[in-house]
Chain A
Amino acid sequence: MSDQGNDLKRDIELGTALGAALEMPHHGAFVTRMKALARQARPRTWDEVLAGWFWQGVLTTSMVLVAVLVGLNHVDGDATPLAGEESVAVQLIDAQRPGADVILASMTGAR
């Protein structure tokens, strides 16, 4: 047996026999199948990746913008009636305000 004492060198005889023992049939069919699979599973190039991100980015930005606008509108909607409306008491105190006497009369039952 060749190189039996030296484990840092290849045992060519054993290696050749092992290589032949492990040889698998149908190399051509395997390669053809792999090529077909590789075409289906082709990795995306950078521009394709960026293009994919572009539409996701546009969609996300649009959704964020809509959310911000809706949020702002909601805040404005809450604030406006509070600022614009005055309590009945304030309206009554202001004697110059037209209609104060009508409100007072309705509250006292027009007696």
Chain B
Amino acid sequence: MTGVDDSELAARASRGDPDAFGELVDRHAPMARRVAYAVLEDQEDADDAAQEGFLSAWQALGRYDPKRAFRPWLMQIVVNAARDLRRRRRVRAAEPLEYVAAAARDDPARETGEIHLGEQLRNALATLPERQRLAVVLFDAEGYPQAEIARMLGIPEGTVKSDVFHGRRALRKVLGSVKEEWDE
């Protein structure tokens, strides 16, 4: 089904075509899982949330307006599913978040520069408030315009801009220090 655009696939899926829906999952699962991870900071939980998001979208396809872009519509559902799951698992989620945040501050391996850049970035992300994490990931990693992110998260565009600014500051510090280590 390559070459068929998302709106056409969504229209077919809304008529009950599971193959069309499968193609949409194949196309958008990587992004959905990354965005869910940005909310939940745990791979298993992120997969559960992405799965719930896709199933909700599958059930709600009849209400999807094909004049709107499909991807932001889907991501909004995934973000909501991830936030909902985090609320339900608040107690469970609190422990790893705290652990990861502490690791970002105190891990001795960090000094030796042995931690992989990805792990350092994930640790730095964990120290940010959820909204800043989402804003930076959706803007810099996934490439959504700030106005679209504002609609997705239900916040003013100015708040997105501010969240991106503050989130980037922490992450750029990590990226910069790792690059310095690499240069030495």
Residues of A that sit less than 8 Å from B by CB: 1, 4, 7-8, 10-25, 27, 30-31, 33-35, 37-39, 41-45
Interface residues of B (CB under 8 A from A): 14-16, 18, 21-22, 25-26, 29-30, 33-34, 37-38, 43, 46-47, 50-51, 54-55, 58-59, 61-62, 117-119, 121-122, 125, 136-137, 139-143, 146, 161, 164-165, 168, 171-172, 175-176
Query: Which residues of the other chain, B, contact A4 by a CB distance below 8 angstroms?
Result: 172
Q: Which residues of B contact A20 (CB under 8 A)?
A: 118
Asked if A35 contacts B22 (CB within 8 A), the reply is yes
Looking across the interface, which residue of chain B has its beta carbon closest to that of A12?
B140
Nearest-neighbor residue (CB-CB) of B172 within chain A = A1
Residues of B within 8 A of A8 (CB): 146, 161
Residues of chain B within 8 A (CB-CB) of A11 are 140, 168, 172
Q: Across the interface, which residues of A come within 8 angstroms of B161, CB to CB?
A: 7-8
The residues of B that contact A45 with a CB separation of less than 8 Å are 15-16
For residue B46, give the distance in angstroms from its CB to the closest CB of chain A: 7
Contact B62 A22 (CB under 8 A): no
Q: A31 vs B22: C-alpha distance in the bound complex, in angstroms?
A: 7
Query: Whose C-beta in chain A lies nearest to the C-beta of B118?
Result: A21
| Interface contact B37-A22, CB-CB below 8 Å | yes
Find chain B residues with CB under 8 A from A31 CB: 22, 25-26, 29
Query: Which residue from chain A places its CB closest to the CB of B178 in the assembled complex?
Result: A17
- Residues of A contacting B141 in the complex (Cβ-Cβ under 8 angstroms): 15-16, 18-19, 22
CB distance from B93 to the nearest CB of A (A): 17
Q: How far is the CB of A48 from chain B (nearest CB, A)?
A: 8
Cα of A39 to Cα of B58 in the assembled complex, Å? 10
With A10-B140, A24-B30 known as contacts, the answer to whether A42 contacts B121 (CB < 8 A) is no
Tell me the complex Cα distance, A75–B19, Å.
60
Q: CB distance A43 to B117 under 8 Å?
A: no
Whether A38 pairs with B58 at a CB distance below 8 angstroms is yes
**Residue from B43, B51, B136 in contact with A37 in the complex, judged by beta carbons closer than 8 Å:** B51
Whole-angstrom CA separation of A24 from B51 in the bound complex: 13
Other-chain contact of B55, A14, A17, A37 (Cβ < 8 Å)? A37
